[in-house]
Amino acid sequence: MINEIKILKKDMALIQAELEANKPYEACGVLIGTINGSTALVEKALPVTNAKRTRRSFELDPKEHYDAWNEAEKDGKEIVGVYHTHPVSSAVPSLWDRETMENAPSVWLIAGADGMRAYVWENGVKAVEITEY
Ligand SMILES: [Zn+2]
């Protein structure tokens, strides 16, 4: 199981900028990289249009999501996680997030009004340590 996610400082800054730019709506995107043992190494955060454009949930635009998946695959990488923002609430999975996580087993990075936290679903929500590099 994944217990650590490594992400570039510039990608952390990009996600924070996406949070600000899309307020009051949630922003979302994918985290592309590789899984090494229990660590998800993110090499690139890629913003994806929030097809729902709501304040309380998100849906990765299917076409953009597919394109991102294809591009990652071409470079021998994978989508190791998904990020989204909680512009007016804390970085804790909402009920909707929890239900969705159960069917999307990857790292969930949430940028909240109180900072960023990461999680995986492993018989429940488990915290993942974020390391910047
Ligand atoms: Zn959420």
pLDDT tens, position by position, 43-72: 999 999 999 988 888 999 999 999 999 999
Q: What is the pLDDT of residue 99?
A: 92
pLDDT tens, position by position, 106-122: 999 999 999 999 999 99
Task: Give the rounded distance of the alpha carbon of 83 from its chain centre.
Answer: 2
CA of residue 80 to ligand 1 center, whole Å: 17
User: CA–CA separation, 66 vs 39, rounded Å?
Assistant: 24
Q: What is the pLDDT of residue 74?
A: 96
User: CA–CA separation, 27 vs 86, rounded Å?
Assistant: 8
Q: Is the sign of the CA dihedral 42, 43, 49, 55 positive or negative?
A: positive
pLDDT band, very low/low/confident/very high, at 13 (cuts 50, 70, 90): very high
CA of residue 97 to ligand 1 center, whole Å: 5
Q: What mean pLDDT, rounded, does the chain reach?
A: 95
**SS3 call for 32:** strand
CA of residue 94 to ligand 1 center, whole Å: 5
Ligand 1 ion local residues (Cβ < 5 A): 94, 97
pLDDT band, very low/low/confident/very high, at 105 (cuts 50, 70, 90): confident
**Residue 9: which domain range?**
4-132
Tokens of 66: 């597919």
Residue 74 sits in a domain of what CATH number? 3.40.140.10
CA of residue 55 to ligand 1 center, whole Å: 9
CA of residue 93 to ligand 1 center, whole Å: 5
What is the CB neighbour count within 10 angstroms for residue 19? 20
CA of residue 86 to ligand 1 center, whole Å: 6
CA atoms within 13 A on the CB side of 19: 23
**SS3 call for 6:** strand
Q: How many structural domains comprise the chain? A: 1
Candidates 130, 131, 36, 28; CA nearest to 77 is: 36
